[in-house]
């Protein structure tokens, strides 16, 4: 049956060609070949066709989204370069598209069908409706005859439902797996922990969050303070911001912090640039912009390139404690933030009080960073967050 279907599809495309000149409104009809666009980085040369928005025979308008291609990091949209009728599709969903390879052809100059592009799709849809009365005789069969197959199916099904569904792993998930495993096999990672008393920061945010949002148009969150504290600490302990390249150590005098953002397609890590020179306001604006683009699946490769340090906030999902993983060999450390919970704390005077405590974790490459440096770095973050005024003095 599958071999019979293929010729039927091929025959449909040529059938449209004789009609095209007649449909043209006085203009010349020409075939335009649409090729796979560049993906924004030389290292990414291929992607997987995610979906086609139109089928052969549909009329597409200039600039209209016709296909989406998933790469290792982003989804690239393919727009119609000119208006016309889509006459051929060379690569279908789940097939690999290399840069420069033809994707489809568009008959430019052909007039738009009088019913619009949706008209061809309406005819097949109407067919089942017209055929709906056909099953009517089945209704005359005894109810017992209809129920019997259903009962047999239930009896045949394994108790508890143990079905399996095998699906192809998305290209982005494959890339994530490769990068994580590559970093794990290359680096000698170790994790150190600390706890942060969030009392002062939460009181500080409560006092100024409404004024901050009214004045600047962005929300004042707790995470931006950790970004700024991390940037200050990275300048104080340069090895955490460095990386190993062959037999060299590359020290960087700038701080680009990536943050983990969960999307429908997987984990992405957009990067905020030059955090060391940004204020808390600047960080909040950059964070809101990138988080919004991630949610809308509009991040570009430029938004995710580079990075000297990463922050992973499992606390937004309720995580109490975890060991974050370094996701790239270009990084030497990652900071893990967790949920803030009320916990019993022994105060300096010996009394016990309930305080909002967050556990923080730093996973680092022990080939480059010693334990003393890692603990010093994490303690510097703790001290700044517990006393936010220290950030103003860069202490």
Please identify every residue annotated as catalytic: 366, 370
Which three-class secondary structure string do you get for 323-383?
A: CCCCCCCCCCEEEEEEEEEEEEEECCCCCEEEEEEEEEEEEEECCCCCHHHHHHHHHHHHH
- Rounded to a whole number, what is the distance in angstroms from the first to the last CA of the chain? 74
Number of C-beta neighbours around residue 37 at 10 A: 16
Phi, psi of 357, deg, nearest 5: -115, 135
Tokens 């889509």 belong to which residue?
Answer: 86
CA distances from residue 326 to 71, 224, 251 in whole angstroms, order as listed = 21, 21, 18
The answer to whether residues 360 and 378 touch, using CB atoms and an 8 Å cutoff, is yes
Element (H, E) at 353: strand 352-365
Q: What is the Cα–Cα distance from 305 to 269, expressed in whole angstroms?
A: 9
Q: What is the Cα–Cα distance from 297 to 299, expressed in whole angstroms?
A: 6
Q: What is the Cα–Cα distance from 361 to 343, expressed in whole angstroms?
A: 18
Q: What is the Cα–Cα distance from 244 to 189, expressed in whole angstroms?
A: 13
Compute the half-sphere exposure of residue 177: CA atoms within 13 Å on the CB side of its CA.
6
State whether the Cα torsion 319-320-323-327 is positive or negative. Answer: positive
Number of C-beta neighbours around residue 164 at 10 A: 4
3-state DSSP assignment of residue 71: coil
The answer to whether residues 316 and 341 touch, using CB atoms and an 8 Å cutoff, is no
The answer to whether residues 102 and 33 touch, using CB atoms and an 8 Å cutoff, is yes
Using alpha carbons, select from 333, 332, 327 the residue that is nearest to residue 179: 327
Q: Listing from the earlier edge strand, what are the strands of the sheet with 189-197?
A: 189-197, 352-365, 333-346, 309-313, 257-259, 271-272
């Amino acid at each position: 049956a599958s071999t019979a279907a293929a010729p039927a599809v091929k025959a449909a495309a040529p059938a449209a060609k004789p009609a095209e000149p007649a449909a043209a409104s006085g203009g010349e009809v020409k075939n335009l070949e649409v090729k796979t666009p560049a993906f924004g980085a030389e290292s990414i040369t291929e992607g997987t066709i995610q979906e086609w928005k139109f089928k052969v025979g549909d009329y597409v308008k200039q600039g209209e989204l016709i296909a989406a291609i998933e790469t290792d990091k982003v989804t690239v949209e393919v727009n119609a370069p000119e208006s016309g009728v889509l006459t051929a599709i060379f690569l279908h969903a789940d097939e690999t598209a290399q840069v420069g390879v033809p994707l489809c052809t568009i008959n430019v100059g052909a007039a738009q069908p009088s019913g619009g592009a949706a008209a061809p799709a309406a005819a097949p849809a109407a067919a089942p409706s017209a055929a709906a009365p056909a099953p009517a005789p089945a209704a005359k069969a005894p109810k017992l005859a209809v129920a019997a197959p259903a009962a047999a199916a239930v009896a045949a099904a394994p108790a508890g439902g143990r079905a399996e569904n095998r699906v192809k792993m998305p290209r982005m998930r494959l890339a994530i797996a490769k990068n994580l495993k590559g970093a794990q096999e290359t680096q000698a990672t170790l994790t150190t922990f600390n706890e942060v008393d969030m009392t002062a920061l939460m009181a500080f945010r409560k006092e100024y969050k409404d004024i901050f949002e009214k004045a600047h148009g962005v929300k004042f969150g707790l995470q931006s303070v950790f970004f700024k504290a991390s940037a200050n600490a990275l300048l104080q302990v340069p090895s955490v911001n460095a990386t190993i390249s062959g037999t060299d150590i590359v020290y960087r005098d700038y701080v680009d912090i990536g943050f983990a953002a969960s999307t429908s397609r997987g984990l992405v890590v957009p990067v905020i640039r030059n955090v060391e020179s940004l204020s808390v306001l600047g960080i909040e604006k950059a964070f809101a912009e990138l988080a919004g683009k991630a949610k809308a699946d509009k991040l570009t490769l430029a938004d995710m390139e580079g990075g000297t340090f990463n922050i992973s906030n499992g606390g937004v999902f309720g995580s109490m404690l975890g060991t974050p993983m370094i996701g790239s060999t270009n990084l030497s450390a990652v900071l893990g933030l967790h949920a803030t919970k009320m916990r019993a704390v022994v105060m300096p005077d010996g009394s016990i009080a309930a305080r909002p405590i967050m556990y923080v974790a730093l996973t680092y490459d022990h080939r480059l960073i010693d334990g003393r440096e890692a603990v010093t770095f994490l303690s510097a973050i703790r001290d700044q967050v517990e006393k936010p005024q220290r950030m103003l003095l860069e202490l």
